[in-house]
Structure 1
Amino acid sequence: MSDIIPVLDLAPFLAGRAGAREALGAELRRAFTDVGFYFVVGHGVPQDLVDATFEEVRRFHALPLAAKTALAIDRHNIGYMPMRGATTRFNALSTTQRPNANEAIFFKRELAADHPDVVAGVRFRGRNHWPDEAALPGFRAAILTYCDAMEGLGRRLLPVYAAAMELPADWFDAAFADAMFTLRMSHYPPSEPIPDGPIGDGQEWGLAPHTDTSFLTLLAQNRIPGLSLRLPGGEWVDAPAPPGAFLVNGGNMLRLWTNDRFLATPHRVLNRSGGERYAIPFFMDAAHDWPIEPVPTMVDDAHPRRHATTTYGAFMETYQKSNFHHAMEKPTAAV
């Protein structure tokens, strides 16, 4: 699978080797024009931290349902989403949708009660909902540590993305100085395919075929399979899980920045392992009000500008109303 999904080694760049950023940028550009996914190794995130975070996901989802629903997801997309609490409509590939068979809790940047955005009620800039410390000792500290590590990795990758777009190394620094991010801690019970039927529109997915919204998504590798992605030719392939690597993809925010010249590759989750599956994708974007528009190097006579300027807040509000039952203007009951 490494001949399909490129593997980028960040270590030479982090060590300051001459030409490493430009070489990685060329590899990343090929990854996003040919596949839309890549693995990153040599990233500096300890495996012990990743393993510990997966254990925290398991601990959280083992809580009684009442303890989880007390942390109910809010208008900021923070908190607990119950099983089948979302239906993939925005960025969906199919016209027939059933609610996704997963439960999840979402965390964003930790903000104090007196933060100006919290006080003003700015959408997607609310406070995290934490379980009681007595119920899950050490959980909050562990999750904040993992978020710091993931944001750090995302920042280390930004100069490589700039190189892939033939931009100066610091091009994205200001835009991501107060980056929006979301850690989604998901639980997928074993899927039950429709008897005697093919995998298709009638399937109840763990997560239905879709593209992400993000500039970049960092996915720690999971011992339980279930993720598959659709190659540009239309073929679906199961994603491998090489130890110690992060699987990285871009979403529709990256497409906006690149004037649709980088892929947002569809993917899906179906847990056919017979066991419980957990996942910890980390979605990273520019600051809440930063103008998001195609960068100059991605617009020319052969590639005229295709997108109007938007912001994280505006884009995500549309996504929320389309996919999450709690956020719909006319809520749709799960089935």
Structure 2
Amino acid sequence: MATDFKSIPLIDVSPLLAKWDDPRMSEDPGVAEVVRQLNQACRVAGFFYVKDHGIPDSLIKEVRTVSHKFFGLSYEEKLKIKLTPTSGYSCRGYQSVGENITKGVPDMHEAIDCYREVTQGMYGDLGRTMEGCNLWPRDPANMKALMEEYVNLCTDLSRKIMRGIALALGGLPNEFEGERAGDPFWVLRIIGYPGVSTTNGHATSENDIGCGAHTDYGLLTLVNQDDGITALQVKNSSGEWISAPPVPGTFVCNIGDMLKIWSNGLYNSTLHRVVNNSPKFRVCVAYFFEPNYDVGVEPLDFCVKKTGGVKKFERAVYGEHLVSKVKTNFVM
């Protein structure tokens, strides 16, 4: 579980990326050092920065620039891709400030929610809630193509980081591939946090919080946040909120609920929230690397052995976990 960490560690993952497909990658000294750092970060904080990750900084910045352009449009224009329950239940599209709910409290942000597209019958009844295509605006015209390229690169990077995490847990590099996360689901949230006006002062109550305290649902999250605005906060075991300020050229990464279960609690999904006390509008683009949608998740045998021989968590189906969260996240 998360301990009394005071800062978020930064990890250079380039040695891991250089050897990720080498059958003997675990024997490489550079990879071994990355694995050691991943293990320490996941045990202590559940959060870490990654640098030298291979995704061009120009693309990372353009993703935020295009997001700013969208959020700068008129309300009427943004509503053209409004998240609405058009047929059954829809979870894709734009939501305005206060429409996302965390533990019953409206969040002070607006967002576009995107998910891996699900065709009719793709996952049977389990996938019905998530069926559909993502909604993209006509303006900015390049938003759809840019975000799809970005998702592909984030998916590839996440697979490679998960190979390091598998080794860190004591498993094989491909532990989270195949039936576990070889055909991963993904989620992309493009989020805009209004700045604080001088009349309102600083955020001091739950109603001022950009996104309330929560854990993430899946395996690994890559957070791309605006430079120069510190808003992301991570809770340590003493209940202190530790800031995760933007570090140019990095992603903030954190682990999710499904990895907590698979690791039998060796790694915990840590509570975090967003409080934008800046007068500037803040953009954050969060990519979530998830397990296979229909996989059953239960503690891995070698993790159970390392934690006293008792399974601490019941089996969960990732798609059921996701839908249970999604259905309580929006004001419709």
What band does the TM-score fall into relative to the shorter chain? 0.7 to 0.9
Mapped contact 2:185–2:291 kept (Cα < 8 A): yes
Compared with structure 1, are the counterparts of its residues 286 and 25 closer, same or farther at alpha carbon in structure 2 (3 Å cutoff)? same
Name the aligned partner's letter for residue 88 of structure 1: T
C-alpha deviation, 1:87, in angstroms? 1.8
Structure 1 CA distance for aligned equivalents of residues 262 and 196 of structure 2? 36
Is 1:11 equivalent to 2:14 in the alignment?
yes
Aligned CA RMSD, in angstroms, stands at 2.6
Instruction: Encode CA deviations 1:23-75: one digit per residue, 9 max, x unaligned.
Output: 32222121111111111112101000001100111121122222322322253
Written as runs of structure 1 = structure 2, the 5 A alignment for 1:121-140 is: 122-132=128-138, 135-140=139-144
Is 1:320 equivalent to 2:313 in the alignment?
no
Give aligned-pair identity as a percent. Answer: 27
Aligned residue number for residue 93 of structure 1? none
- TM-score w.r.t. length of structure 1: 0.85
Is 1:278 equivalent to 2:302 in the alignment?
no
Structure 2 CA distance for aligned equivalents of residues 306 and 276 of structure 1? 42
Compared with structure 1, are the counterparts of its residues 258 and 206 closer, same or farther at alpha carbon in structure 2 (3 Å cutoff)? same
Is 1:310 equivalent to 2:326 in the alignment?
no
What SS does the corresponding residue of 1:299 show, helix, strand or coil? helix
Aligned residue number for residue 243 of structure 1? 248
What SS does the corresponding residue of 2:242 show, helix, strand or coil? strand
Mean Cα deviation higher: 206-215 or 65-74: 65-74
Aligned residue number for residue 172 of structure 2? 168
Aligned residue number for residue 104 of structure 1? 111
Is 1:65 equivalent to 2:75 in the alignment?
yes
What SS does the corresponding residue of 1:15 show, helix, strand or coil? helix
What SS does the corresponding residue of 2:289 show, helix, strand or coil? strand
Structure 2 CA distance for aligned equivalents of residues 235 and 291 of structure 1? 34
Aligned residue number for residue 226 of structure 1? 231
1:117 to 113, 119, 122: 122
Compared with structure 1, are the counterparts of its residues 195 and 51 closer, same or farther at alpha carbon in structure 2 (3 Å cutoff)? closer
Aligned residue number for residue 80 of structure 1? 94
C-alpha deviation, 1:116, in angstroms? 5.1
Is 1:47 equivalent to 2:54 in the alignment?
no
Compared with structure 1, are the counterparts of its residues 28 and 119 closer, same or farther at alpha carbon in structure 2 (3 Å cutoff)? closer
Mean Cα deviation higher: 302-311 or 99-108: 302-311
Mapped contact 2:98–2:109 kept (Cα < 8 A): yes
Compared with structure 1, are the counterparts of its residues 49 and 297 closer, same or farther at alpha carbon in structure 2 (3 Å cutoff)? same
Aligned residue number for residue 189 of structure 1? 194
What SS does the corresponding residue of 2:129 show, helix, strand or coil? coil
Mapped contact 2:203–2:209 kept (Cα < 8 A): no
Could you list the runs of 5+ residues in structure 2 that have no partner in the other structure? 20-24
Aligned residue number for residue 154 of structure 1? 158
Structure 1 CA distance for aligned equivalents of residues 45 and 199 of structure 2? 30
Number of residue pairs matched by the alignment: 313
Aligned residue number for residue 144 of structure 1? 148
Name the aligned partner's letter for residue 4 of structure 1: S
Name the aligned partner's letter for residue 167 of structure 2: A
Structure 2 CA distance for aligned equivalents of residues 240 and 206 of structure 1? 15
What SS does the corresponding residue of 2:249 show, helix, strand or coil? coil
- TM-score w.r.t. length of structure 2: 0.86
Bigger share in strand: 2
Name the aligned partner's letter for residue 62 of structure 1: G
1:253 to 243, 249, 258: 258
Structure 1 CA distance for aligned equivalents of residues 53 and 131 of structure 2? 28
What SS does the corresponding residue of 2:323 show, helix, strand or coil? helix
